[in-house]
Amino acid sequence: MLGSKLKDWDKMKDTAVESEQTKAPLGSSSRASSISFTISAILDMAASRGAIAVLLLLLLVLVAVQLEAADDDATTTHLHFFMHDIVSGSNPTAVQVIKGPASSSPTAPSLGMSFGDTTVIDDPLTETSSSTASPVVGRMQGLYMLSSQSGAVLMVTANILLTSGEYNGSTIAVIGRDDTAADVRELSVVGGTGKFRMASGYVLWKTTAMNVPDATVELDVYLAPNANNGTDIDGGGSSSGSKSSSSGGATMMTRSFGGKWVVGVAAGVLGSWWVCCC
């Protein structure tokens, strides 16, 4: 196929040469043909097509290995918890500290809130949706404010504090718009401390139970690969975190992308087939 492409190209060149010289003398056209002949001959002589295929495959596998090696550092951290926002009862974890200038009807009856209402939270985070059957692995500490004049939309700004496992004591800073009418909301991870120093990512925020004014929210936190972590401020410097852990805490997984291997090898096989069979 490579050979025939070259010939096509030479044909085009021939045409160009011919139209340029308008009925060119025999000489110029036959020169072009002889170039084409030489290239084909070199290709045929240099290597059999099988050898080219093997070389190509080898090259592509090497590239795949390189990409995979580079990817070893590139892991995404995924944390999963349930947050329990308890407003009612004698042991609330969420307390309203600012009452907006409510009119006669609340802005967001679904939340029992009005524009400007602001609540401070110290909500427990657990591994499963049950707040009692599952140990507390962290806390969401911060506030939310009803910040839409027309809907049940909250402005959330809070820190996730991990209180168990290898991330104990580390925090993740979350800020975002929580449109409670949507099934799944996306909030930003804008930073962190400890194992999450320089963190960036996002949180998927999904209400799984609503018993106004109390709510249970499922959180999926995704953090971009972060090499700048695991250093204690006291200089004690625990070494880098291990790759995956579920030790005494929420389900914590890191994913490594092996996909480039597959792509590289597939490209190699396809390339060999192309050289051999086209």
Ligand X SMILES: *[C@@H]1O[C@H](CO)[C@@H](O)[C@H](O)[C@H]1NC(C)=O
Residue from 77, 126, 147, 272 in contact with ligand X (CB under 6 A): 77
- β-sheet bridge partners, residue 118: 98, 145
**Per rule CB under 6 A, is residue 180 in the interface with ligand X?**
no
Q: Stretches 16-24, 99-107, 221-229, 270-278: which one binds ligand X (CB under 6 A)?
A: 221-229
- Smallest distance from the beta carbon of 255 to ligand X, in angstroms? 10
256 binds ligand X (CB under 6 A): no
Q: How many residues sit close enough to ligand X to count as binding (CB under 6 A)?
A: 18
CB closer to ligand X, 132 vs 239: 239
* Helix residue spans in the chain (DSSP H): 2-21, 26-46, 49-71, 259-277
Contact call for residue 126 and ligand X (CB under 6 A): no
Give the nearer residue to ligand X in terms of CB position, either 106 or 225: 225
Closest CA to 203 of 159, 243, 258, 254: 159
Q: Which of 241, 250, 264, 275 binds ligand X (CB under 6 A)?
A: 241
Query: Which of 96, 207, 231, 254 forms a contact with ligand X (CB under 6 A)?
Result: 254
> What's the min distance (Å) between Cβ of 135 and ligand X?
9
- Give least dist CB 213 to ligand X, A: 31
The amino acid at residue 61 is: V
Burial readout 28-50 (b: 16 or more C-beta within 10 A, e: otherwise): ebeebeeebeeebeeeeeeeebe
Element (H, E) at 193: strand 185-193
User: Hey, what amino acid is at 126?
Assistant: T
Q: Assess contact for 138 and 164: CB atoms under 8 A.
A: yes
Q: Which two tokens stand for residue 44?
A: 């045929």
Q: Are 28 and 225 in contact (CB under 8 A)?
A: no
- Interface residue list for ligand X (CB under 6 A): 75, 77, 163-164, 168-169, 195-196, 223, 226-227, 229-230, 240-241, 243, 248, 254
